[in-house]
Amino acid sequence: MSATPLDVAVPIDMHQNAINNRVVQVLASAPSSPLQGQEYFDSTLGQFGICTNATGPVWAYMGTGGGSVTSVAATVPSALLAISGTPITTSGTLAFTLVSQSANAIFAAPNGTGGTPTFRAMVAADVPKTLDHTWISDFDTEVRTSRLDQMAAPTSAVSMNGQKITNLGTPTSGTDAANKAYVDSVAQGVPLKPLAQAATTAALPSCTYANGTSGVGATLTAGSNGALTIDGYAVQTGDVVLVKNQATAAQNGLYDVTQTGNGSTPFILTRDADMDTSGEFQGALVLVNQGTTNSGSAWVCTTATPTVGTTNIVFAEFNKAADLTAGTGIAISGNTVSVSLTAGTGISVSGATISSTGNRTYSATIGDGSTTSFSITQSTHGLTASQALKVTVRNVSTGAEWLTYNTVDTSGNVTVQFTTAPTTNQFRAIIQG
C-alpha cells in the first residue's frame, strides 16, 4: 500500500545537506500550472523536465544522452528560400518562405542536364507543344465572344452545316453574299437599292454638283453652312437619302450623307456606290424609311441607262396608299384607311370586321322614391342622336305598360316624367331607335 503524500506549506531549508535516494515526481505529461523551477520525470519522453518559465509554460527537457544544444542556426539557398527566427538560443521557431521571383520566371533545373536548380526567364520552348484548350480555363468563352471579323480569313470552303445566315445586308459588290430580298427583287426585274432614311419633297438648298469620275464619287455640296433636313428628318452621317426634286434633274439619285453640315460647315452628299454608274438606275426601287411626307413610300427610277451627270434622272412613286381617294364614309391618313361611323347607327367595328349590332334597344330601371322626372342622355343610351326614338315605360313587377309623359329632343336626349314619384326601381324605361 502506498503512503499518503505529505503536504508541505512552507519552503524546506536543507542547509546544503544531500537528500539521498530521492525520486522526483513521475508523470506521463507535463503538470499543469507549474512554477518556474518545478521539475518532473516525463515517462512518455523518458526525459527530465524543468519549468524555465511559468508563462506558457516553457519546459526544458534533459535527455539520457550526453551534451546540450545552446544555439541553433540555419542557412538556405537565398535564390529559393528565406529564413527567419535564427539563431535560436533558448526557444523559438525557424520559419522558411519562398523568395519572390521575377515575372514569367521558371525553375531551370534539374532537367535533362544535371545542374543546380535556379530560376531563369521563361522561353517558348518551356511550354509543351501539345498544350490544348483544356489547360486554359476561359479559352472557350474567349473564342465564343470574339467576332468573326476578328478571326483570320479562311483559306478553304466554310460549311454552314445546313444553317441560315440571317440579317445579311444588301450586297454592294459583285463578291458579296446576297440576301433573299435582294435576290427576289432582281428575279422580278426590280433591283432593290439600299433603304433611304428620307426622300426630298423639293430641291435641296443651293448647292454645287461635282460629277466625280463619270458619276462615281459625285457630290452635292451646300453653298452655305448649316445642317441639312430632308422632309422633316435631320440627316445623320452615313445615312442614305433619295434626291429626286433637283431643278437640274441630272443631279437626282441616291446619295450617302458624307457631312451633315452645321453652323461652320456645309452639308456634303456623295452618290451611293449602289447607284453611281449608268447600268444601276433603270427600274431601281428605293424604299423610304422616315419623313413627314415620304415615310413608307417607294420610288422607282424610270430613266434607262443615263449618262450620269448629264441625263435627267426621274423617279416615280410606286403604289402608295396616298394615291387613293377617300369616298363617302372613308378617311385616309398617311397609310391608314378608316371607316367613319356615327354613334347609335347600329354598326360596329371589331378588328377587320364591320357588322350590324342587331339590338337597337336600350333599357334601364328608374325610380328613387322622390324624383318625378328622369333624364336619359343620348351618350347614355347610345342610340340615334335624333327625335326618331320610341320610349316605353313598364312596371317592373307586373310588366304592364304605363302611360307617362315622355320627351325626346333633337339630340336624342330622353326625359320621362311622373305625377307622383315612383318607388326605387319601380319602372323600366325602354328606348328603341
Specify the pairing of strand 390-395 against strand 268-271: unpaired
Alpha carbons 144 and 33: distance in angstroms, whole number:
67
The band of 82, judged by pLDDT with boundaries at 50, 70 and 90, is confident
Which of 46-50, 112-116, 401-405, 418-422 has the weakest average pLDDT?
A: 112-116
Percent of the chain with pLDDT over 70: 81
Beta bridge partners of 279: none
Q: Mean per-residue pLDDT for 142-157?
A: 83
The band of 321, judged by pLDDT with boundaries at 50, 70 and 90, is very low
Residue 134 clears pLDDT 60, i.e. is over it: yes
Q: What is the DSSP letter of 112?
A: S
**Higher local confidence (pLDDT), 26 or 63:** 26
The band of 119, judged by pLDDT with boundaries at 50, 70 and 90, is low
Quote the pLDDT of residue 87.
76
User: Are the C-beta atoms of 275 and 193 separated by less than 8 Å?
Assistant: yes
Alpha carbons 357 and 384: distance in angstroms, whole number:
13
3-state helix, strand, coil in the chain (%, to 5): 10, 30, 60
Residue 141 clears pLDDT 70, i.e. is over it: yes
Residue 39 clears pLDDT 90, i.e. is over it: yes
The set of residues, in sequence order, having a beta carbon less than 8 Å from that of 79 and lying 6+ positions away, is 99, 118, 119
Enter the C-alpha cell of residue 106. 521558371
The band of 107, judged by pLDDT with boundaries at 50, 70 and 90, is low
Which of the given ranges, 58-67, 284-293, 341-350, has the highest pLDDT on average? 284-293
The band of 339, judged by pLDDT with boundaries at 50, 70 and 90, is confident
Residue 8 clears pLDDT 80, i.e. is over it: no
Alpha carbons 275 and 194: distance in angstroms, whole number:
9
Quote the pLDDT of residue 152.
86
Neighbouring C-beta atoms of residue 273, cutoff 10 Å: 15
Neighbouring C-beta atoms of residue 153, cutoff 10 Å: 5
Alpha carbons 194 and 182: distance in angstroms, whole number:
10
The band of 335, judged by pLDDT with boundaries at 50, 70 and 90, is low
